[in-house]
């Protein structure tokens, strides 16, 4: 049975179907579009490097989730990229800290492409030979990212903010850690996390819901639900791990990233905090803020400046990123700005203006096929309604924003700096 989830604010309907094997499917047909996107996601990411299955504790090499993503594209006969090329679809995959996602976009042959997607993810094929072949490729990828200043400033910040949570470790692992990955390692992780009930499918655009249900029942019905894995607790301390990290690399100007650590929140509370803190950051540190204008006029910041919220399973911090010859001064100025606004709150008029802009950007995501699919996947991953972000933004109020502001510990912060050689 297909369930309809209607949102009265943006007048959209998302369709939900639960397969007989347990996989949840979310669909949003979009009239007038010729393209379609599908994303098949497993709740298994780089953070899951220690987990239990029953009474057995399993510890795996860092980078295993990313390695598994690479290897699932191969089969005994033909790799998935070749199959998608024959239908004219564009396909790829990505591993994050708390999930792995496989996806495609196409202008036609959607049913065939969906069969390919569900087929190769549901049929693992790992051998000593093909696992070994991938080791050098991923090793080069690891080296490439470690030579990228923009990536290193971010990963160094994660190491500074967190001391226990595996989010502090590189998604791809290290050359040393991936050397320990075997076919059995991949099969163990696949059986533990690629359970039908631990995966979900989202699709948007020019799609036929009945056709999607038919393909899902056909391709996923034979899946055997294995014992579900439980990720080990992170037991992350409240305080940041280190206040500052420095690294010298070939950059024209020092770059930096700042993180104000917050306790982790989950489900709807995570989405709510994400929205409020994004609004707050935009209000007091965004491109039109007094803070940014002052820092630009004084030559401390330039156009390379952004603020955001970094959140996921077990991690949440307020982030700022930019270029500056005085990055530590930027951090101290942000702390002073937080303290100032705690005593002298920003105006309600400013809140309403930024709230409307935030709401508008969320609504705008529902007029683009890929954005719609991303929005659905993000909501399902957090186990909330597909329209949760829009609904919470529409209901956001000024008094709650001030509570979020007062709850910030501006001293619980880290800064990662990439200096010039």
Q: Which residues are catalytic?
A: 69
Residue among 192, 164, 158, 155 nearest 64 (CA): 192
* Percentage helix, strand, coil for the chain under 3-state DSSP, each rounded to 5: 45, 20, 35
Q: Rounded CA gap, 55 and 390, in Å?
A: 41
Report which DSSP code applies to 347. P
Determine if residue 255 is left, alpha or beta; phi over 0 gives left, psi from -120 to 50 gives alpha, anything else beta. Answer: beta
**Contact status, residue 14 vs residue 386, Cβ threshold 8 Å:** yes
* Whether the Cβ atoms of residue 30 and residue 369 lie closer than 8 Å to each other: yes
CB 146 within 8 A of CB 174: no
Yes or no: say if 91 and 115 are a contact pair by the CB < 8 Å rule.
Answer: no
Do strands 36-42 and 50-53 pair parallel, antiparallel, or not at all (unpaired)? Answer: unpaired
β strands within 262-302, DSSP E: none
Residues, the chain? 421
> For helices 348-364 and 267-285, what crossing angle results, to 10°?
120
């Amino acid at each position: 049975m297909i369930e309809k989830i209607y949102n009265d604010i943006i007048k959209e309907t998302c369709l939900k179907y639960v397969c007989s094997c347990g996989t949840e499917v979310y669909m949003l047909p979009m009239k007038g579009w010729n393209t379609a996107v599908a994303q098949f996601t497993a709740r298994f990411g780089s953070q899951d490097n220690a987990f239990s299955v029953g009474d057995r504790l399993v510890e795996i090499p860092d980078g295993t989730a990313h390695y598994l993503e690479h290897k699932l594209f191969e089969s005994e006969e033909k790799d998935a990229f070749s199959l998608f090329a024959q239908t004219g679809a564009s396909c790829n995959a990505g591993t994050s800290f708390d999930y792995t996602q496989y996806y495609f976009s196409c202008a036609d042959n959607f049913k065939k492409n969906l069969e390919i997607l569900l087929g190769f993810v549901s049929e693992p094929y790992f051998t000593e030979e093909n696992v070994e072949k991938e080791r050098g490729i991923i090793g080069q990828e690891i080296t490439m990212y470690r030579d990228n200043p923009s990536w290193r400033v971010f990963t160094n910040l994660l190491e500074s903010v967190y001391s226990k949570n595996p989010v502090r470790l590189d998604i791809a692992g290290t050359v040393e850690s991936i050397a320990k990955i075997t076919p059995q390692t991949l099969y163990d992780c696949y059986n533990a996390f690629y359970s039908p009930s631990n995966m979900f499918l989202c699709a948007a655009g020019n799609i036929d819901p009945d056709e999607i249900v038919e393909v899902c029942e056909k391709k996923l019905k034979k899946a055997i639900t294995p014992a579900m894995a439980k990720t080990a607790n992170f037991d992350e301390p409240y305080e940041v791990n280190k206040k500052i990290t420095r690294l010298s690399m070939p950059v024209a100007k020092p770059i930096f990233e700042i993180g104000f650590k917050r306790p982790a929140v989950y489900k709807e509370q995570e989405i709510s905090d994400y929205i409020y803190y994004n609004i707050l950051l935009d209000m007091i540190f965004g491109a039109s803020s007094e803070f940014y204008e002052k820092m630009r006029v004084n030559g401390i910041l330039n156009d390379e400046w952004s603020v955001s919220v970094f959140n996921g399973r077990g991690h949440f911090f307020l982030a700022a990123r930019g270029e500056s010859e005085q990055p530590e001064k930027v951090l101290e100025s942000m702390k002073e700005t937080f303290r100032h606004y705690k005593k002298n709150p920003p105006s309600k008029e400013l809140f309403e203006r930024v709230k409307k802009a935030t709401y508008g950007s969320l609504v705008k995501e529902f007029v683009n096929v890929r954005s719609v699919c991303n929005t659905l996947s993000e909501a399902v991953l957090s186990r909330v309604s597909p329209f949760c972000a829009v609904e919470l933004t529409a209901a956001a109020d000024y008094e709650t924003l001030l509570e979020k502001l007062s709850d910030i510990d501006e001293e619980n912060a880290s800064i990662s700096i990439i200096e010039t050689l």
